[in-house]
Every structure is written in structure tokens, then in C-alpha cells.
Amino acid sequence: MSISINSRIESIEISGIRQFANQLIDFPDAINLTIGQPDFPTPEAVKLAAIEAIKNNQTSYTHNAGLLELRAEIASFFRDSYGLDYNSKTEIIVTNGASEGLDSLFRAILEEGDEVILPAPAYPGYEPIINLCGGKVVYLDTSDTGFQPDPQRLESLITDRTKAVLMNFPSNPTGVTMESAQLEQVAAVLEKHEVFIITDEIYSENSYGEKHSTFARFEKLRDRTFLVHGLSKSHSMTGWRIGFVLGPEMYMKHVLKVHQYNAICASVPGQFAALEAMKNQRHIPAEMNKEYVQRRDFVYSRLTAMGIDVVLPKGAFYIFPSIEKFGMTSYEFAVRLLKEGGVAAVPGSAFTVYGEGFVRISYAYSMPVLEEGMDRLEKFVHSLTD
Ligand SMILES: Cc1ncc(COP(=O)(O)O)c(C=O)c1O
């Protein structure tokens, strides 16, 4: 006899990124360019703030939405950086990473059969959770528009089943971001349709072109926009599990109920660390960005010198070159690159079918690692074309 579990979870597979990364164990000498987290340590002052909190026995539950002092600092950060106005008492929730924030949001807004439009190639963390809530993802293909969502194409996908449109810029996996004028065109479409907007801007502080422009700035959309953010990427705090959701009070009180019953509150030493990061360490991302830009430029110029088509990324720490001309699937390419070339990169198909024909390279690695990785990739590419 076997007792059945939720059929929805049964049909969900582990992420393509993990599936591929799990193969790396058999190739200990491979240069691993698959990881999506900064290679810098968490800033010293941030670590000390958590240690201090623990020493002072600041280790019991906080308010479900997080320490009020932290929420006030988050509100001040978004006011100072982006001119946004969120009430720290009623419109901000501190979550266990952006991941838990997204989960709480989806569970609060989605009902059976609801559709969520998602530009793709896309981060693989969204669809499984949307499906678990009974929702369905409708992909907006950006693979032939320089990874920018085309406003007309977006509008053609909106139906009366559409509950939300989810944007993630700067994007994982493409590194592409939407600049102000492009955001305005998409916002103009969304103004016409009563749908929620979820904007996952976890990479906003890692922007290398014009200053990041947030999707949360459109006043006409404010009463149905949720901004998802966190410290995993900006302050190299992936293991601390601190994220934030900001949104209109009338919906946030419901999101808070999901968060409350699922998590009670975010990790408390993590919240004290986050308080230090948001209050006194706002300069950290700019310091990391100096390194990322140098690395991005290096990887981009090596790829183009190899004759590979690639869009110059303007944010995050990923680059998403086309491998179409090599006449194999992205999975085949990635496996051969690993086995024959000694380099690990994530097959684009891990980011939906619209990522087919590409691979994702992370440049959150030191220059010597990237140099060796690019040398090996070049040799492998030559072995395919010579
Ligand atoms: C686009 C995107 N959103 C959310 C997350 C999850 O972030 P967190 O560590 O805050 O849960 C990631 C992590 O890679 C990501 O790339």
C-alpha cells in the first residue's frame, strides 16, 4: 500500500539548476560557473550585529512582520533610493528570504485556475510554487526580443483568467534589466488591466547601466503592485534568509496571515544583521559592483572574441550566451562542456523552454577562476568548430 501525497508536488521536479549542479560531484576538477550567489563574505559589521544580538539574548520571536525598527529602515531605504513611500507598520513584511515572501504572496492571491504571466527565460523558483497554489504560468517569450518583455505581446496574453504579471529585472538568468522608458511602456499596458503586479527586484542593487528603475514607482499601479526584495544578493547574505515584501496595506494584511502561519517571523539574528545592512551598510553593493563590472566585461569580451552571440548584461551576475550555432540542445552542450571541456555552466533549458539555445554563466567568481573558465570554454568551442 502506498499513501498518496499531494499530486501537485509529485509532478514537480527539483530545479534544473540543482539537477545539473548535482552532476558536478563527479568532476571535482571542473571550473564551476553555475552558482547564483556572491563570492564575497557577508560584511563584517553585519556579522557582528547578529553576534551582538545573540549575546544580548535578542533571540525570541519578533512581530510577525519583523522588527519595527528594521521595517522602518527598509521604508527609509526605498524612500531614499527610489522615492517610494511605504508605511513601515502596515505595508512591509520581513520574510525568510525573497523565496518565502514570494510563496506567501502567491498563496495569498492565487486561486485555482488563476494565471500568472511571466517573462521567460525565467528563474525556476516561481512556477512550482504557482502550480502548488493551483495557478498556471503563462510565459511571455523574450528570447527573440533581447530578453525584454514586448508590451504588445504582453497585452495579447492578458485574459480574464490573468491574476498577476511577474517581472524580474535585473533578470536571473539573462542579466538583462529594463530601463526607465521600457518600464513605462509595460506599465502603460498594465494600467489598462486589473491584475496584480509582482516585481522581484532582488538584483536591483547589482545594476551596472543607468540607475535601477523600480516597477513599484508607478502611482497608478501602486494599489496592486508588490515589490519583492531581500539581502541575499546585495549584501551577500544568501544563508541568512532575509527578504522583504512591500505592498498596499489592503492586501499586505492577508499576505501577513500566510507568513504568520507558515513562519511566525523571519530569523531573528538575521533580522538584526539586516538592520545593520539597511542602516549603515548601504554602500556595500556599489563596492561589489566594481568587481562585477570588471568580471562581466572580461567574460563578455572573451565570449564575443569566440564568436558567440551574447547580450551585454546590465545587472545581476549572470551572462546568457547563445549556443544555438553549435547544433545541440543546451543540456547536451552543458554536459559536453563539463565532460570534455571541464567547465560547468547551467543549461538554458533550466530556465523554461524559452531558455533553450542558451547557457547561463555566473560571473560571481574571482578573476583567476573566470580566466581559467574562459580559456577552457574557448578550447572546447574550438574543438566543436575546427
Ligand atoms: C530572481 C530570484 N528571486 C528570488 C531568489 C531567492 O532569493 P532569496 O535567497 O532571498 O530567497 C533568487 C535566488 O537566486 C533569484 O534569483
pLDDT, tens digit, for every residue of 93-126? 999 999 999 999 999 999 999 999 999 999 999 9
Please name the residue whose Cα sits nearest to atom 13 of ligand 1: 36
Mean of pLDDT values over 178-186: 91
Amino acid, res. 248? P
pLDDT in tens, 27-45: 999 999 998 899 999 999 9
Mention the CATH class of domain 59-280.
Answer: alpha beta
The ranges assigned to domains in the chain are 7-42+284-385, 59-280
What SS3 state is found at 93? strand
What secondary structure letter does DSSP report for 329?
-
Find the 125 Cα to ligand 1 centroid distance in Å. Answer: 8
Q: Whose CA is nearest to atom 14 of ligand 1?
A: 36
Rounded percentage of the chain residues whose pLDDT exceeds 70: 100
The residue to mutate among 34, 42, 93, 99, having the most atoms of ligand 1 within 8 angstroms of its beta carbon, is 99
More confident residue, 23 or 139: 139
At what angle are helices 268-280 and 44-55 packed, to 10 degrees? 140
Give me the count of residues in the chain. Answer: 386
Q: Which cell goes with 271?
A: 533580522
Cell of 85: 513611500
Using most ligand atoms within 8 A of CB, pick from 177, 232, 234 the residue to mutate for ligand 1. Answer: 232
Class of the 7-42+284-385 domain?
A: alpha beta
Q: Is the pLDDT of residue 1 over 70?
A: no
Could you count the other beta carbons within 10 Å of the beta carbon of residue 45?
14
| 296-305 tens-digit pLDDT | 999 999 999 9
- Give the tens place of pLDDT for each residue, 145-174: 999 999 999 999 999 999 999 999 999 999
Which tens digit of pLDDT belongs to each residue from 49-74? 999 999 999 999 999 999 999 999 99
Query: What is the structure's pLDDT at 13?
Result: 80
Distance 1 CA to ligand 1 centre (A): 39
pLDDT of 231 higher than 80: yes
Eight-state DSSP code of residue 207: B
Question: Which residue ranges have their beta carbon within 6 Å of ligand 1?
Answer: 36, 97-99, 123, 125, 168, 172, 200, 202, 230, 232, 238, 243
Average pLDDT over residues 201-219: 94
Identify the pLDDT of residue 249. 98
* Ligand 1 mean position, distance from CA 114 (Å): 23
Question: Between 147 and 181, whose confidence is greater?
Answer: 147
Tell me the pLDDT band of 191, cut-offs 50, 70 and 90: very high
Region 178-201: what's the mean pLDDT?
Answer: 95
Residue among 172, 165, 158, 171 nearest 226 (CA): 165
372 has pLDDT over 90:
yes
Measured torsion, CA atoms of residues 331, 348, 153, 206, in degrees rounded to the nearest 10:
180
Q: How far does residue 204's CA lie from ligand 1's centre (Å)?
A: 12
Rounded Cα distance between 151 and 349, Å, is 24
Q: Are 341 and 30 in contact (CB under 8 A)?
A: no
Q: Is the pLDDT of residue 212 over 80?
A: yes
Q: Could you report the per-residue pLDDT of 283-292, keeping only the tens digit for each?
A: 999 999 999 9
Q: Does the pLDDT of residue 14 top 90, yes or no?
A: no
Average pLDDT, the chain: 96
- What confidence score (pLDDT) does residue 364 get? 96
Please give the pLDDT value at position 180.
86
